[in-house]
Amino acid sequence: GAVVSQHPSWVICKSGTSVKIECRSLDFQATTMFWYRQFPKQSLMLMATSNEGSKATYEQGVEKDKFLINHASLTLSTLTVTSAHPEDSSFYICSARGARGSAFFGQGTRLTVV
Amino acid sequence: TQLLEQSPQFLSIQEGENLTVYCNSSSVFSSLQWYRQEPGEGPVLLVTVVTGGEVKKLKRLTFQFGDARKDSSLHITAAQPGDTGLYLCAGGRNNNDMRFGAGTRLTVKP
């Protein structure tokens, strides 16, 4: 399958700071990238969908000013959690979809806000 | 309510048993994907089904897409402890949409 690299794998930050998570498709062009959040023992909840060069489409209840998504190229999307608080601690996962239609996932980022 | 209803949510069986996981929706999908996720990792794609009525096999795993493209099933034959994990179905109403079912947490005991 195709390779999607997500970085960092884990991050601990202080409350009030911002954290950037990168998602790269290494061997294909990702026309669409998805960002998910996953709580322990639960499924993935879609946060937003982004297409290269366009503004991201956020799901209801997801604050776009808090979770900034940039999809500047066909191989890179970033999620910035701004002014992070402990309740933002979670497992964040990106996926990338290319022309073939199947989506492939990064390895996830575990964010802990202290 | 979720777009995709997955059942059962939890399943604990003995090694060697067979099992089936279901993924149902009232919506029609252009395709459905099945993933498996290990703790602390991203989901890994198992299969994509596209054609109504399609059946795909991956070793001991058999995937079926309903004729109306609204539901899918995953059948595992002679389950092994290595099959333990979270199984997720996913689908979208269009290319800009991909949502997951609640997942089935499978435990296979030796």
DSSP B54-65: -EEEETTEEEEE
Whether the per-residue pLDDT at A60 is higher than 80: the answer is yes
Per residue in B12-47, pLDDT (tens digit) is: 999 999 999 999 998 888 889 999 999 889 999 999
Per residue in A6-48, pLDDT (tens digit) is: 999 999 999 999 999 999 999 889 889 999 999 888 889 999 9
Please list every residue in chain A whose beta carbon sits closer than 8 Å to the beta carbon of residue B43.
44, 93, 95, 105
What single letter denotes the amino acid at residue B3?
L
Tokens 């959040």 — which residue?
A37
Rounded CA separation B77/B62 (Å)? 8
Q: What percent of chain B has pLDDT over 90?
A: 75
Rounded CA separation B49/A18 (Å)? 39
Distance to chain B for A66, nearest Cα, Å? 21
Burial (0-12, 13-18, 19+ Cβ within 10 Å), A46:
buried
Answer yes or no: do A103 and B88 touch at CB < 8 A: no
Cis peptide before B8, with omega less than 30 degrees from 0? yes
**Shortest CB distance from A43 goes to which of B30, B96, B100?**
B100
Which of the residues A43, A52, A79 would you substitute to probe the B interface, choosing the one with the greatest number of B C-beta atoms within 10 Å? A43
Whether the per-residue pLDDT at B1 is higher than 60: the answer is no
Whether the per-residue pLDDT at B71 is higher than 90: the answer is yes
- A63 CB-near residues (< 8 Å, 6+ apart): none
Q: What average pLDDT score do residues B37-59 get?
A: 93
- B30 CB-near residues (< 8 Å, 6+ apart): A101, B50, B69, B92, B94
Res. B9 pLDDT band, cuts 50 70 90: very high
Please list every residue in chain A whose beta carbon sits closer than 8 Å to the beta carbon of residue B44.
1, 105
Mean model confidence pLDDT for chain A: 92
Mean model confidence pLDDT for chain B: 92
**Shortest CB distance from B31 goes to which of A31, A51, A101?**
A101
Answer yes or no: do A105 and B40 touch at CB < 8 A: no
